[in-house]
A and B are shown apart, each in its own frame.
Chain A
C-alpha cells in the first residue's frame, strides 16, 4: 500500500478539514483585501467585507477571478507580498502572446513540495526510488515542481528535461530509473522508441509513472501500462494555482484527490456561476488558502470536472475530482503546452504581410501531438518562385514557434477557403478527440 506524506491532512475527518479550511480562508481573504488593490476593489463592488467570510460556507459570496484578471494585472498586480519575499517566478502562456506570471515565497515552495511529495508517495514512491523527470524545466511549472517534490521525498532525482528520446532511454537503463514524470503522450513515445531500439520492458527498472499536464484517456493509460510495465498515475495542476500537485491519483486510480487543505475546490455552472453539488459536472474553481505570494480567490480554471466525496480504499479523506472532460473555452493543450488559437492570430497580424485567416489542426501521430497551422496565402506573400514562398513560410513557422513554445507545421491554403469570423468560426480541428 502506497504511503502517505502528510497523513494528518490527507486522512483528516471532514469536520476537521472544514474547520481548517474556514480558518485559512478567512485569513487569506483578509490578507488579499489589505494587500491587493484588485481584490479589494472587486470585493467592495460586490459589497463583501473580509469579516463576512468566516467559514467555507461563505465562499460563494466572493467574486470570481478570471484569467483575464491575471492578464490585466500583468505582471505582478495580483501578488499579495512584496517582491523581497518572492523567491521564484514561473509563467504560462496566455492569449494574444501575453503570458501570465506567478510567484512563490519560500513557504509557497514548501507547500508545493509537500503537494508533489503527497502525489509521489501515493503512487508508491519512496526515498529509495530514482525519479526521471522528463517534464520541461524552465518557466513551465512541470519540471521544477516535480523535481522539488521528488527531492523533498528523498528520491534520487534525475533532471533530464525534454528531448533526445534515445538518450533518455539510455539514462533510464543506465541510471536505473524506477519512477518517471512525463506527459502521457511523451511516455508513449518513449515506449515506442524503446521498441525501435530493441529494448523490452524487462530491460528497464521503471515501475511507476506520474503523468500529467495534458488530458489523457483510460485507453491511453492501459496502453502505457502494457507497453512499459509501469503503473501510470494521473496528476493535475495548473500554474495559476501552484503547478503540478493540486490533485493526484492514489492506488485506486479512480479520480484525483485534491489537496483541499491548500486549495478549496468548487464546481459551478459556467454560465450562471451557481455552485453545483458534488457529483454534478461543471467548471472547476479553486481558492488558494495557504499561498502567500499569489493566492487566487475563486479562480475559474475553465476545466470541466466533477467532485466526489466518498470513502476511498486508500484511506484518504481528501475530496476526489473526476478527470477533466474538457475545457470550457478554446484553450488547447498540445504536448503539455497551453496553446490559444488567438496567439496564432496575433503572430500572423504582427508579421504584416500574412493574412489573419487560419485554422489549427491538432492530431496525434505516433503518440505525439502534432500541430498544423493552415494559413491563407496573401497576395503579398505570393511569388512565382517556390523558394521565396518557402522562405516566408519559414518566417511564420519561426514566429509561431517562438510565441507558442512548440513546433508547428505551416500549410498555405488558397484565399477565402477557411471559415470567416462571421458566426462561430471553427478555428480548431482537434482530431485527438474521440
Chain B
C-alpha cells in the first residue's frame, strides 16, 4: 500500500516557499502532510496532497521542478515508544529510513497543526496572533 509523495525543488531565497504554496492554494489543493529538507542553497519541499494529479499539473504549469515518489504512510500507536517500536521493527529487517516526517493530525475539527522553526520567535508570536492563528502552548502539547 503506497502513497504518492510530491517533491518540489525550492531555491533558498525569500518568498519562494510562499509562492510555491500559493500555487497549491490557488488550485485548491489540501496539503495533508509536509516536510522540508534543507541544504545551504536549496530545499526540497515534500508533500502529500488530496489530489496528486491536479497538484502535479498546476506545479508544472508554474515552472516548478517536481518529482513523485512512492512512500508508506504508517500509523503508529500515539503513546510513548510508538515510533521507537516501528524503528526497531524496520532495523531488525535491515530497512533504513531515508527521511521521515509527521502527518498533520486533526487536533481540533478542521484544523491541522504544523511545527514552525523561525528565526524571530518573539515577532512571529505577535504576527501569528494578529492573524488569528491559534498557537499551542507547551502545556497544550503535553495534554493532547
Seen from chain A, the residues whose Cβ lies within 8 Å of a Cβ on chain B are 377-379, 382-386, 389-390, 411-417
Residues of B within 8 A of A (CB-CB), count:
20
A384 x B65 contact (CB < 8 A)? no
With A384-B46, A390-B39: A414-B9 Cβ-Cβ less than 8 Å: yes
Q: Does B34 contact A (CB under 8 A)?
A: no
Across the A-B interface, how many residue pairs have beta carbons closer than 8 Å?
Answer: 47
A384 x B41 contact (CB < 8 A)? no
> Nearest Cβ in chain A — how far from B7, in angstroms?
4
B39 and chain A: residue at smallest CB distance: A386
A382 x B66 contact (CB < 8 A)? yes
- The docked-state distance in angstroms from the alpha carbon of A386 to that of B39 is 8
For A384, the chain B residues whose CB sits under 8 A away are 5, 7, 44, 46, 67, 69
- The docked-state distance in angstroms from the alpha carbon of A383 to that of B7 is 8
A378 and chain B: residue at smallest CB distance: B65
- The docked-state distance in angstroms from the alpha carbon of A378 to that of B65 is 7
A415 x B42 contact (CB < 8 A)? no
B11 x A382 contact (CB < 8 A)? no
- The docked-state distance in angstroms from the alpha carbon of A412 to that of B63 is 15
B98 x A385 contact (CB < 8 A)? yes
A390 and chain B: residue at smallest CB distance: B39
Q: Does B2 contact A (CB under 8 A)?
A: no
B46 x A411 contact (CB < 8 A)? no
For A382, the chain B residues whose CB sits under 8 A away are 7, 9, 65-67
B65 x A386 contact (CB < 8 A)? no
Which residues in chain B, 95-132, are within 8 Å of chain A measured between CB atoms? 98-99
> Nearest Cβ in chain A — how far from B110, in angstroms?
29
B67 x A383 contact (CB < 8 A)? yes
With A382-B65, A384-B67, A386-B37: A413-B11 Cβ-Cβ less than 8 Å: yes
Q: Which of A386, A411, A416 contacts B63 (CB 8 A)?
A: A416
Q: Which of B63, B67, B69 contacts A414 (CB 8 A)?
A: B63
Apart from A385-B44, A386-B39, A414-B16: 14 A-B pairs, beta carbons within 8 A = A379-B65, A379-B66, A382-B7, A382-B66, A382-B67, A384-B5, A385-B98, A389-B44, A411-B41, A412-B41, A414-B11, A414-B65, A416-B63, A417-B11
- The docked-state distance in angstroms from the alpha carbon of A36 to that of B47 is 66
A384 and chain B: residue at smallest CB distance: B7
B42 x A412 contact (CB < 8 A)? yes
Tell which of B9, B10, B46 has the most Cβ of chain A within 10 Å. Answer: B9
Q: List 5 A-B contacts (CB under 8 A).
A: A377-B9, A377-B42, A384-B7, A385-B44, A414-B9
> Nearest Cβ in chain B — how far from A280, in angstroms?
45
> Nearest Cβ in chain A — how far from B45, in angstroms?
10
> Nearest Cβ in chain A — how far from B47, in angstroms?
11
A386 x B11 contact (CB < 8 A)? no
With A414-B9, A417-B11: A385-B67 Cβ-Cβ less than 8 Å: no
- The docked-state distance in angstroms from the alpha carbon of A384 to that of B42 is 12
Interface string of B50-88 (1 = CB under 8 A from A): 000000000000011111010000000000000000000
